[in-house]
């Protein structure tokens, strides 16, 4: 695929602090997320700021990401998926819990100790406009990681950057251009090249294609898939577009209000969701296929996602759940394998959706409501205005 030289580059100079070599203990799990909690304090007061509450963005998430796989992370706005991504890469300090990367606990490393690991986990961001410094040239945007980590300098750095540009499908001659001279899709390629510059093992993709046009999305998805094969990358892939997640992921975790409510192999999750929220989310997504889209039974959830400042008791979904029972508001269901499910399929629900079961949401009666509403007809308006 790569038009130029062998992507396997020579190892970086030994001068800088090396990450511990992969060799001694090859673990199946590349990344362990253990009981991660992230709260953002809310403060009030001018001089003596006291904490009056906290946004419970991520509340006890445990996941493991296997080497070479793509773990999809889905959920709606405010479910904590982006916060979790930033916790994984330690852009946010954790409130509690552990991030174990390749067998090493990263959660309380100093920034200096963290450095060698930063090289091995990179991020691709959603907004290809906001995530690239508009005043820097592409060459330095992609090359900065190489300088910062002391990997390459001068002509060697330029050679590497141009090679990366080639790998992601950019013209290496555009080394000296500014981000504004590129389209959205090309900018996202720049972001991908920057993420790849240090040969990471893990790439956290936070909505990498959401900001792109439909016809360009597929280019980036294919690129990410190719690169995964070429460089043996492991992806954590966050998106709200379920079709995209289904397409790229090996396993998918569904989040709701800071918690993982269901996790399974992709086909298993999309084929037989057990958590009512997963079922509702899947049924709400509009498939670009008229027969499927129109025959689908939609579980329409009413209301909005509750505030993460004061989340509901018990199961956090109980306020909107079509199957909720009294126990759901009291006792939080554990994330566990439900009877009849394969080992890797876990769901956190007291009353999991049974195969073949259809969930029913309430539908407001439009006709009654409308007829009771005495709306003046626009004709009257025209007459009065004329």
Partner 1 sequence: MSLLSVRGLTVSFPTSDGVVRAVRGLTFDVEPGQTLGIVGETGSGKSVTALSLLGLNPGADISGSAVFEGRDLLTMRPDEIRRVRGAEIAMIFQDPLSSLHPYYRVGWQIVEAIRTHTQVSRDRAMRQAVELLRLVSIPQPERRVQAFPHELSGGMRQRAMIAMALALRPKLLIADEPTTALDATVQAQLMELLGGMQRELGMAMIVITHDLGLVATVADRVLVMYAGRGAESADYRTIFRSPHHPYTRGLLASIPGAAGSGGRLIPIVGQPPSLIRIPSGCAFHPRCPFAMDVCIREQPPFAPVNDGEAHASACWLPPDAVGVGPSADATRERYVKSRQGPAVSRLRDARSPRSGGDVAYV
**Residues in region 347-366 near partner 1 by CB under 8 A:** 363-364, 366
Q: Map the footprint of partner 1 across residues 22-51, applying CB under 8 A.
A: none
Stretch that binds partner 1, among 26-34, 97-105, 347-355, 367-375 (CB under 8 A): 367-375
- Helix 154-167 crosses helix 184-196 at what angle (to 10 degrees)? 130
Distance from chain centroid for Cα 83: 9
Nearer to partner 1, 343 or 374 (CB): 374
Q: How far apart are CA 374 and CA 381, in angstroms?
A: 14
Sign of CA dihedral 366, 367, 369, 375: positive
Stretch that binds partner 1, among 12-20, 98-106, 143-151, 282-290 (CB under 8 A): 282-290
- The answer for residues whose C-beta is within 8 angstroms of residue 132's C-beta and 6 or more apart is 141, 179, 187, 190, 191
Q: What are the tokens at 47? A: 């001089």
Residue 169, phi then psi, degrees to nearest 5: 85, 30
Beta-bridge partner residues of 100: 32, 105
Residue by residue, DSSP assigns 308-361 as TTSPPSSSTTTTT-TT--GGGGTSPPP-EEPTTS-TT-EE--SSPPPTT-----
Q: Map the footprint of partner 1 across residues 145-174, applying CB under 8 A.
A: 167-171, 174
- CA-based max dimension of the chain: 86
Q: How far apart are CA 343 and CA 72, in angstroms?
A: 18
Residue 51, phi then psi, degrees to nearest 5: -80, 125
If one asks whether residue 183 binds partner 1 (CB under 8 A), the answer comes out as yes
Q: How far is the CB of 198 from partner 1 (least distance, A)?
A: 21
Stretch that binds partner 1, among 33-41, 43-51, 90-98, 277-285 (CB under 8 A): 277-285
Q: How far is the CB of 233 from partner 1 (least distance, A)?
A: 16
Among 17, 105, 289, 357, binds partner 1 (CB under 8 A): 289
Among 136, 160, 240, 338, binds partner 1 (CB under 8 A): 240
If one asks whether residue 295 binds partner 1 (CB under 8 A), the answer comes out as no
Given a contact cutoff of 8 angstroms between Cβ atoms, the answer to whether 289 and 276 are in contact is no
Stretch that binds partner 1, among 40-48, 100-108, 125-133, 378-386 (CB under 8 A): 378-386
Nearer to partner 1, 19 or 312 (CB): 312
Q: Map the footprint of partner 1 across residues 45-104, applying CB under 8 A.
A: 76-77
Among 294, 326, 343, 355, binds partner 1 (CB under 8 A): 294
Residue 143, phi then psi, degrees to nearest 5: -85, -20
Burial class (CB in 10 A: 0-12, 13-18, 19+), 109: middle
If one asks whether residue 143 binds partner 1 (CB under 8 A), the answer comes out as no
Stretch that binds partner 1, among 5-13, 99-107, 292-300, 328-336 (CB under 8 A): 292-300
Q: Which residue has the tokens 């959706």?
A: 353
Among 193, 280, 321, 347, binds partner 1 (CB under 8 A): 280
Among 24, 355, 356, 378, binds partner 1 (CB under 8 A): 378
Q: Which residue has the tokens 């294609």?
A: 209
Among 14, 15, 46, 288, binds partner 1 (CB under 8 A): 288
Nearer to partner 1, 244 or 348 (CB): 244
Nearer to partner 1, 99 or 205 (CB): 205
CA angle at 221 for the pair 217 and 225, rounded to the nearest 5°: 170
If one asks whether residue 268 binds partner 1 (CB under 8 A), the answer comes out as no
Stretch that binds partner 1, among 21-29, 143-151, 239-247, 329-337 (CB under 8 A): 239-247
Q: How far is the CB of 1 from partner 1 (least distance, A)?
A: 6
If one asks whether residue 218 binds partner 1 (CB under 8 A), the answer comes out as yes
Nearer to partner 1, 117 or 182 (CB): 182
């Amino acid at each position: 695929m790569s038009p130029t030289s062998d992507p396997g580059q020579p190892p970086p100079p030994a001068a800088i602090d090396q990450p511990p070599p992969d060799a001694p203990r090859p673990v199946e799990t590349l990344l362990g997320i253990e009981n991660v909690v992230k709260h953002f304090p809310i403060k009030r007061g001018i001089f003596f700021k006291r904490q009056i509450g906290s946004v419970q963005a991520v509340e006890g998430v445990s996941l493991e990401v296997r080497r070479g796989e793509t773990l999809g992370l889905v959920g709606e706005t405010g479910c904590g998926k982006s916060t979790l991504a930033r916790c994984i890469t330690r852009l946010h300090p954790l409130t509690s819990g552990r991030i174990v990367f390749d067998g090493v606990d990263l959660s309380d490393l100093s920034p200096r100790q963290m450095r060698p690991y930063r090289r091995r986990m990179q991020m691709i961001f959603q907004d290809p406009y906001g995530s690239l410094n508009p005043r820097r040239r592409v060459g330095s945007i992609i090359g900065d990681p190489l300088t910062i980590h002391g990997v390459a300098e001068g002509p060697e750095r330029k050679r590497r950057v141009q090679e990366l540009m080639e790998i992601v499908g950019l013209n290496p001659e555009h080394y000296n251009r500014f981000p504004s001279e590129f389209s959205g899709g090309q900018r996202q390629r720049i972001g991908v090249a920057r993420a790849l510059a240090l040969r990471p093992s893990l790439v956290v993709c936070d909505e990498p294609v959401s900001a792109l046009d439909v016809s360009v999305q597929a280019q980036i998805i294919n690129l990410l898939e190719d690169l995964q094969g070429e460089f043996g990358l492991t992806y954590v892939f966050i998106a709200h577009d379920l079709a995209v997640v289904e397409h790229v992921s090996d396993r998918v975790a569904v989040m709701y209000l800071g918690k993982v409510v269901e996790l399974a192999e992709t086909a298993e999750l999309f084929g037989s969701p057990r958590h009512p929220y997963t079922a509702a989310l899947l049924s709400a997504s509009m498939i670009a296929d008229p027969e499927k889209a129109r025959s689908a039974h939609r579980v329409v959830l009413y209301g909005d996602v509750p505030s993460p400042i004061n989340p509901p008791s018990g199961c956090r979904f109980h306020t909107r759940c079509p199957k909720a029972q009294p126990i759901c508001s009291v006792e939080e269901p554990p994330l566990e394998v439900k009877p009849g499910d394969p080992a890797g399929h876990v769901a956190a629900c007291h009353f999991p959706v049974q195969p073949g079961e259809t969930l029913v949401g309430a539908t407001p009666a439009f006709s009654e409501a409308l007829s009771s509403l005495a709306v003046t007809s626009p004709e009257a308006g025209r007459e009065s205005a004329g």
